[in-house]
Amino acid sequence: MSEFTPPKAPAHIRQGSSIGQPLTRRDGFLKVTGAARYAADNHPAGMLYAVIAHSSIACGRVSFLDVDAARGHPGVVDIMTPQHKPELAMDPDAKLHPFMFRMDLLQNDRVRYATQPIAVVIAETLEAATEGALLLAPRYEIETAAVGLDGAESFVPPGVGAGNPAAASKGDVQAGLAGASLRIEATYETPSQYHNAMEPHAIVVAWHGDTLSIDMPTQGLVMTQSRIAAMFGIPPEDVHIRSPFLGGGFGSKGLAAGPQILGVMAARMTGRPIKLVLRREQMYGPVGHRAATRQTLRLGADGEGSLTAIDHHAKTTSSTFDDFFEPAADVSHTMYASPAIATSHEAVRVNTGTPLFMRAPGEATGSIALESAIDEMAQACGMDPLAFRLKNYAEVEPISGKPFSSKALRQCYAQGAERFGWATRKLEPRQMRDEDGMLVGWGVGTATFPALMFQGQARAVLRADGSGVMETGAHDMGQGAWTALAQIAADGLGLEIDQVEFRSGTSDLPDAGIAGGSAHTATAGIAIHGAGADVIAKLADLATGDERSPLFGAGNTGVLARAGRLFRRDDESRSETYGDILVRAGLAEIEGRGSSAPDPAALSAYAMHAHGAVFAEVKVDPDLGQIRVTRLIGAFAAGTIINPHLVRSQYYGGMIWGMSFALHEHAIIDPRSGRVMNPNLGEYHIPVNADVPSIEAILVEERDPYVNALGIKGVGEIGVTGSAGAIANAVWHATGVRVRHFPITLDRLIERR
Amino acid sequence: MSFSTTLTVNGVSRTLALDDPRVTLLDLLRERLDLTGSKKGCDRGQCGACTVLVDGRRINSCLALAISHDGADILTIEGVAHGEQLHPVQAAFIAHDGLQCGFCTPGQIMSAIGLIQEGQTGHDPERVREGMSGNLCRCGAYSGITAAVLEAQLSFEETERKQVA
Amino acid sequence: MNRFDYIRPATVSEAVAAASVPGSAYLAAGTNLIDLMKGGVVRPERLVDVSHLPGLDGIEHFPDGGLRIGALVRNADLAHDADFAARFPAVAEALLSGASPQLRNAATVGGNLLQRTRCAYFYDVASACNKRTPGAGCDARGGQTRLQAVLGWSEACIATHPSDFCVPLVALDAIVEIEGRSGRRDVPLESFYRLPGDTPERESVLEAGELILAVRLPGTAAAFAGHARYLKVRDRTSYAFAIVSAAAALQIESGRILQARLALGGVALKPWRTRAAEDSMAGEITGPDTFRRAADIALADAQPSGDNAFKIELARRIVVRALSQAAVGTPKRMPALPASPFAAVSGAITYV
């Protein structure tokens, strides 16, 4: 193990009182009054509307567009096509790094997936632009589309997810399976899923000479800024992006999407501001999705119920023109102890938009399969599924052998099971009914998600009037960044939260990294924390070096910052307000900077993950097969909780995504055309309110000294994992039918009887 | 051809010359009246983000032609609070965290106000859930929404009791 | 959405005259029509807005227990009309299980009758559809067929009718009042719809310009009020179209069935009434044997139109369940989740 010491608290510390408080959302007032301005709510003077025309075929080329018909519609101003468009400074098909995804910007007449943009109609009114797009009535030369997991030759991808190797192993899996007294092998399928944030991707954009003014939702202001700048050959600082609110992102708004760039092109071409908003059906192609998987799990166990081998193989799809490979099997690296583990991936290229990160990418797809398989093995062993999980509890990270930086999973299991009443569960399936005769089933799933942190920066200011400013270009897509980060800022500055002006959500602020990987609170939060410490340290230097200050000479023992005052650490009767210190020094304000970055020493020494246990009760109509999740209880340990009120909401959201994964959402793709046949919210089902009668989240106490200075692990995605598997396992327990094809729909229960 | 339409929006009567009969009530509010609180999530009556009250009833404004609603009285999210004084449903949404990204929230709140006025739920959470099922929330804020509606309804009844007493 | 002429007639006769011009469509609430126009599925050249016509938004109760529902009555208003719900509880339950509260507040009775299928290939204008373009073919055949018809379908069309409301209406002998250029006529709702055959583009018996004025329910139908249920199975708890649904209504005396009514939704291009199954129950004792026999008769002619054989078995089971629930008796209060299998009203419903 490499040398590592946990980060020390800075010499001048703040005695926190905002962190940990269940504050309500600071942006709540704006959101409940309709005053929160989302991108598409903007309307600069002289603005035109742009509407995309998209391909209905999945493979081939566009042979004709009825441009005259569209142009003839009153109000249509111009039509952008491969033949008529502004020049770009960069090839949309260039890929300079793995996070640069190829885009469809009318570079030619080729069609590589259904819903690909093939033209943009620009008009004075939304009605004219919309109808203009329809009037283009494209004709095509159609080629046979590659569709689905068996749609093309498979290959081993160069890497999966964000650069993980496609295969990993430890120990001898074949020997582990051969020597096992019990073996199971099962194959699970998960469908293509689409992020479907409530807010469609949008952009309102105006060129002012060669600078850009943009309103668009983004989870990654700086990456988006630099991508747009590169596409148009202008310096990044000339691209000004405002993204104060996102109407949900879930991974689909991390990077600039092609349709948004088309909006910038339309503004360039017409010389007028443009609003371009995707129609709902256009969100099933160019803005990412979670790829389908087919996963085969082979598990071995000895006579005592200890796993001897885990072999997890995943097949997935990617597009014909770009690389993203759902890292479904990798979840087996971290979950259960086994002397032998092997994970591997294969992929096929099909005519689909490129898949992308979608809330818990890899973990969601992988864990529903793994958690189902673990239950199947528990059943084979004749063991309670929770007891089986505890029996195979990973004391160290199974694949690497590293110790966990912290892991309160046992407490999650215990507290969740207690709250749920798990102890009275019948071991065999189809044993429980409610008073109305409904089959009742209980299932458990283990939740996990890595505790990540990216690079971020923040700037802090203390002013002579006693107030403070904290700036970081963070993103609030619903997770509560406006509130949680302001809480960290308040503590970092030693101020009450209302004395802190928290500035966020534009590209002109310090880079807060991307809001993804459940890492945003850690990334932006540690930068904020550092900026606060930096400015307090500067203030303390002013005071302790000034003999007129009651803090003079305290430099050796340090000071505390609290409620707008600095206190001598060894004698709190001696203190002074920030304002007094600055005024005496003749300063209107004082500035500090902070940054965050993962610590390589900590990363090499420890495995860092959040954990949880989810317990589900489902009721299933014994004859009709309709399923309802009547109780869902998750217990999660994710390090320091900045705001329990908002964290609970994040867990609920994740758990409902788990429910959606297990029972509802899937793209229905016509195998002949490659078109998604349910590209709408009426038939692409996500849960409605009535699907969620009872949901609870338990916040399990956990202190992690290694992940970062504040011990934050992240909570945005873990709720999806565990929940999906728990529900699938509960359906089995209710019915005795093991459905390995997700989502579990009632026809699969009807047919099996 | 221009169509003259009179609408009362948040208590203010407006006579509009519509140049196009295709304009939906939602697009009228958002694109022509700068009332952008009502949101477009699907434009097909499948998500509820565009919910407004028309003559006191909650409907999907994306499927309503503005021209066909000549004479209607429309209440949008912008007309619900009195300045800084939030409507009880709005306050309850904040208190119970019945929102995350906030995009569906105006529709949820208008739907909740409509639901309470419909008077069909009693204090039965199951009826509230069913009554709020026309409003999708991808963030999954449903339990907070249900709690908020139940609480707001209680506070309405409390107000009514006081008025009677 | 295509451009169109907008006409707002002041009277029914003006409306009929205006809509008799080819390319016209009636607009009421527009909850289905505007959706279809936005998708380019239909492109009428003129919309005749009947939503302001006077006199079509009332519910008239007749002394014999029957009633007449104006075509512009909103779905929610009808469902929440206490007298109506007491006499025709299964119809109210069906109404409240359909769509969402917002859509029910807007959608009209006449419009509900005329809503188009939810077949994905009908909605997807890039697919071949004989309904949209006669003779074009049917891409639903051999495509995604899970939700398609199992009764009454043809090679030309395997779509289903999406309405919940119409299922109990058909079971209860509802009559449609229609006005056209040649005057007024009454058509039983059951024969109002056409099966697809070779002409799936012709969905009802309405002629060009004909307008639905009202729906009547006969007094005899109210005699089922004590034992009438609607049951709907769907892919999520609410706000979803039926996979299969059933309306069941019984008249019971001393445990014996005097008369039975049964119709299925989600199985065919029309609400599917099955008189042979109804007749099989007359004079029989209520109970699983009687109901299973009726279910077998009701589905005797069912054929999968693709990968949807499960719907036939599901339909049998839902028939048995709906009849069983009807036999137990109509609950005093509308279930919290109307028509859902999870709608248990404490003490009021027990399963057989």
Question: In 3D, which of A575, A484, A563, A572 has the Cα closest to residue A523?
Answer: A484
Q: Which residues pair with C257 in a beta bridge?
A: C252
Cβ of C102 under 8 Å from any chain B Cβ?
Answer: yes
Domain assignment present for A156: no
Query: Are the C-beta atoms of residues A701 and C136 closer than 8 Å to each other?
Result: no
Active site residue A717: yes
DSSP state of B82: B
Whether residues A109 and A231 share a domain: the answer is yes
User: What CA–CA distance (Å, rounded) separates A284 from A55?
Assistant: 12
Which helix (H) or strand (E) element contains residue A579?
A: helix A578-584
Q: What percentage of chain A carries pLDDT values higher than 70? A: 97
CA separation for the pair B122, A738 (Å, rounded): 39
> Of A458, A477, A490, which Cα lies nearest the Cα of A518?
A477
A170 is a domain residue = no
Same domain, residue pair A272 and A365: no
Residues of A with Cβ-Cβ distance to C125 under 8 angstroms: 56
Q: Identify the CATH number of the domain in which residue A65 sits.
A: 3.90.1170.50
Same structural domain, B75 and B118: no
Give residue-wise pLDDT tens across range B117-132.
Answer: 999 898 999 999 999 9
From CA C95, how far away is CA C170, in angstroms rounded? 14
Distance (Å, rounded) from C-alpha C177 to C-alpha C192? Answer: 10
Count CB atoms within 10 A of the CB of residue A46. 10
List the CATH number of the domain containing B113.
Answer: 1.10.150.120
Q: Where does residue A586 rank: exposed (0-12), middle (13-18), buried (19+ CB within 10 A)?
A: exposed
The total number of structural domains in chain A stands at 3
Strand partners, A629: A618
Q: What pLDDT is attached to residue C70?
A: 98
Place of tokens 């004219």: A128
Count how many residues are written for chain C.
352
Residues of chain B in contact with residue C102, where contact means CB-CB under 8 angstroms, are 45, 48, 51, 58-60, 111, 114, 134
Give chains near B: 3+ CB pairs under 8 A: A, C
* CB neighbour class for C264 (10 Å; exposed up to 12, middle 13-18, buried from 19): buried
Claim to verify: residue B33 and residue B99 sit in the same structural domain:
no
Across the interface, whether the CB atoms of C29 and B57 are under 8 A apart is answered no
pLDDT at C346: 43
Nearest residue of chain C to residue A659 (CA atoms):
C236
Q: How confident is the model at residue B33 (pLDDT cuts 50, 70, 90)?
A: very high
Instruction: Give the number of other Cβ atoms within 10 Å of residue A753's Cβ.
Output: 12
Which tops the pLDDT comparison, B3 or B28?
Answer: B28
**Which residues of chain C make contact with A747, given a CB cutoff of 8 A?**
146, 243, 310-311, 314
Chain A interface disruption, residue of C141, C233, C237, most A CBs within 10 A: C237
Domain edge (last residue) among B13, B47, B79: B79
Average pLDDT, stretch A65-69? 98
ipTM above 0.95, yes or no: yes
In chain A, what percentage of residues exceed pLDDT 90? 96
Q: Is A27 left (phi over 0), alpha (psi -120 to 50) or beta?
A: alpha
pLDDT bin (cut points 50, 70, 90) of residue C343 is confident
Strand partners, A319: A350
Q: What is the pLDDT of residue A380?
A: 98
List, in sequence order, the alpha helices (H) in A392-437.
409-420
Inter-chain CB proximity B103 and A654 less than 8 Å: no
Task: Assess contact for A657 and A365: CB atoms under 8 A.
Answer: no
Rounded mean pLDDT of chain A? 96
Largest CA-CA distance found in chain C, in angstroms, rounded: 62
| Domain end marker among A224, A243, A277 | A277
DSSP per position, A223-246: HHHHHHHHHHT--GGGEEEE-S--
Same domain for A97 and A238: yes
To the nearest whole angstrom, how far is the Cα of C2 from the nearest Cα of chain A?
Answer: 6
* Residues of chain A with C-beta less than 8 angstroms from the C-beta of B100: 248, 478-480, 649-650, 653
Q: What type of residue sits at position A153?
A: E
d(CA A121, CA A519): 39
Give the residue extent of every domain in chain C. Answer: 5-52, 223-328
Query: Quick check: C296 and C200 in contact, CB under 8 A?
Result: no
- Cα–Cα distance between B47 and B134 in angstroms, integer? 7
Which residue out of B100, B121, B133 would a mutagenesis test of the A interface target, given it has the greatest number of A Cβ atoms within 10 Å? B100
- A288 found inside a domain: no
List Cβ neighbours of C260 (8 Å cut-off, separation of 6 or more).
Answer: C248, C249, C250, C251, C277, C278, C281, C282, C294, C323
Nearest-CA distance from B114 to chain A in Å?
15
Helices B142-164 and B105-118 cross at an angle (nearest 10°) of 40
Given strand A456-463, what is the order of strands in its sheet? Answer: A500-503, A468-471, A456-463, A589-596
A54 part of contact set with chain C, CB < 8 Å: no
Q: List the single residue in C240, C318, C341 with the smallest CB-CB distance to A685.
A: C240
- Please determine, for residue B86, whether its predicted confidence score (pLDDT) is greater than 60: yes
Chain B residue whose CA is closest to C46: B21
Partner-chain contact B101 A245, CB within 8 Å: yes
Measured between beta carbons, which residues in chain A are less than 8 angstroms from residue C146? 747
Say if CB B18 and CB B2 are below 8 A apart: yes
* CB B145, CB B108: distance < 8 Å: yes
Q: Report the residue from C1, C27, C80 with minimal CB separation from B120.
A: C80
Rounded-to-integer distance, Cα C330 and Cα A563, Å: 65
The verdict on A590 and A473 lying in the same domain is: yes
> Does residue A121 share a domain with residue A209?
yes
Helix (H) / strand (E) element for A142: namely strand A139-142
Average pLDDT over residues C159-166: 98
pLDDT score of A211 more than 60: yes
Nearest to C105 among B21, B59, B67 (CB): B59
The Cα–Cα gap between B165 and A625 comes to 51
- Is the domain defined by C223-328 classed in CATH 3.40.50.300? no
User: Which residue matches tokens 């527009």?
Assistant: C30
- Mind telling me how many Å the CA of C330 is from chain B's nearest CA? 18
Q: In the A/C pair of chains, how many CB contacts fall below 8 A? A: 105
Query: Is the residue at A187 inside a domain?
Result: no
B65 Cα to chain C: minimum distance (Å): 8
Hey, are the CB atoms on B65 and C30 less than 8 Å from each other?
yes
Is residue A497 located within the same domain as residue A443? no
Same domain, B156 and B108: yes
**Contact yes or no for C99 and B134 at CB 8 A:** yes
Are both B97 and B37 inside the same structural domain? no
User: Does residue A494 contact residue A564 with C-beta atoms inside 8 Å?
Assistant: yes
Question: Which pLDDT belongs to residue B165?
Answer: 66
A229 and A92 within one domain: yes
Angstrom CA distances, B95 to A34, A486, A612, stand at 17, 18, 26
Q: Whole-angstrom Cα distance, residue A606 to residue A406?
A: 9
Tell which of A571, A597, A623 closes a domain. Answer: A597
Q: How confident is the model at residue B18 (pLDDT cuts 50, 70, 90)?
A: very high
Q: Which amino acid is located at C187 in the chain? A: V
Helix, strand, coil shares, percent, chain B, to 5: 40, 20, 40
pLDDT at A1: 37
Report CB contact under 8 Å: C317, A619.
no
pLDDT of residue A170 exceeding 70, the answer is yes
Chain A positions in Cβ-Cβ contact with residue B113 (cut-off 8 Å):
none
Residue range(s) defining the domain that contains residue B153: 88-164
Residue pair A246/A475 in contact by the 8 Å Cβ criterion = yes
Confidence check: pLDDT of A13 > 60: no
> Given an 8 Å threshold on Cβ–Cβ distance, is B68 in contact with C38?
no
Q: Please confirm whether the linkage preceding C134 is cis (ω < 30° from 0).
A: no
Q: Under an 8 A CB cutoff, do C101 and B118 touch?
A: yes
The yes-or-no verdict on residue A116 having pLDDT over 60 is yes
Q: Which amino acid is at A315?
A: K
Do B94 and B132 fall into the same domain? yes
* C269-303 per-position pLDDT tens digit: 999 999 999 999 999 999 999 999 999 999 999 99
Mean per-residue pLDDT for A92-97?
A: 96
pLDDT confidence of A3, banded at 50, 70, 90? very low
**What digits encode the pLDDT tens for the residues A434-471?**
999 999 999 999 999 999 999 999 999 999 999 999 99
Q: A644 touching B, CB under 8 A?
A: no
Q: Which of A141, A617, A717, A751 is catalytic?
A: A717
The shortest C-alpha distance from B82 to chain C (Å) reads: 25
A567 and A498 both lie in a single domain = yes
Same domain for B9 and B70: yes
Please give the single-letter amino acid code of residue A380: A
Report pLDDT for A690.
Answer: 98
Please indicate if any CB of chain B lies within 8 Å of the CB of C105: yes
CA distance C35 to A505: 35
Q: Give the span between the Cα atoms of A78 and A128, in whole angstroms.
A: 11
- Do residues B93 and B121 both lie within one domain? yes
A672 interfaces chain B, CB cutoff of 8 Å: no
B20 and B45: one domain? yes
Strand partners, A456: A596
- Residue C345 pLDDT > 60, yes or no? no
CB B101 within 8 A of CB A244: no
| CA distances (Å), origin C34, targets A123, B30, B64, C116 | 21, 18, 8, 12
A568 belongs to a structural domain: yes
Number of structural domains chain B divides into: 2
pLDDT of residue B160: 80
Closest residue of A to B19, CA-based?
A125
The closest alpha carbon to B106, from A22, A649, A198, belongs to A198
The CATH architecture assigned to C5-52 reads 2-Layer Sandwich (3.30)
At B162 the pLDDT is: 81
Q: Please judge whether B97 and A689 are an interchain contact, meaning their C-beta atoms are less than 8 angstroms apart.
A: no
- Token code pair at residue A27: 């942006």
Residues B27 and B53 grouped into a single domain: yes
Q: What is the pLDDT of residue A323?
A: 97
Which tokens belong to B108? Answer: 């949820």
Residue A15 has pLDDT above 80, yes or no: no
Q: Give B49's contacts in chain A (Cβ within 8 Å).
A: 198
Structure-token pair, residue C116: 């188009």
Q: How confident is the model at residue B1 (pLDDT cuts 50, 70, 90)?
A: low
Is C45 within 8 Å of chain B by CB? no
pTM exceeds cut of 0.80: yes
CATH number for position B58: 3.10.20.30
Query: Which of A24, A125, A690 lies nearest to residue B97, judging by beta carbons?
Result: A24
Size of interface A-B (CB pairs under 8 A): 191
CB atoms within 10 A of CB A600: 10
Kindly state whether residues A479 and A448 are assigned to the same domain.
no
| Position A484 in a domain | yes
Query: d(Cα A360, Cα C162) in Å, to the nearest integer?
Result: 36
Q: Strand (E) positions, A278-421?
A: 293-301, 307-319, 341-350
Mean pLDDT, residues A106-131 taken together: 98
Q: How far apart are CA A369 and CA A728, in angstroms?
A: 9
Give C-chain residues touching B59 at CB under 8 angstroms.
102-103, 105-106
Is residue A16's pLDDT more than 60? no
The answer to whether residues B12 and B38 belong to one domain is yes
Q: Is the pLDDT of residue A6 over 60?
A: no
First to last CA, chain C: 50
CATH number, domain of A742, equals: 3.30.365.10
- For CA atoms C71, C76, C82, C87, give the dihedral sign: positive
Q: Nearest to residue B137, comparing CAs of B30, B25, B51, B29?
A: B51
Q: pLDDT tens digits, residue range C107-129?
A: 999 999 999 999 999 999 999 99
Quick count: other Cβ atoms within 10 Å of Cβ C128?
Answer: 16
Contacts with B, C 74-93, CB within 8 Å: 74, 76, 80
For A688, the closest of C146, C237, C344 (CB atoms) is C237
Q: Are residues B111 and B63 in the same domain?
A: no
Question: The domain containing residue A318 runs over which residues?
Answer: 293-452+604-751
Statement: residue A552 has pLDDT above 60: yes
pLDDT digits (tens, 9 = 90+) for A386-439: 999 999 999 999 999 999 999 999 999 999 999 999 999 999 999 999 999 999
Gap between the Cα atoms of B77 and A41, Å rounded: 14
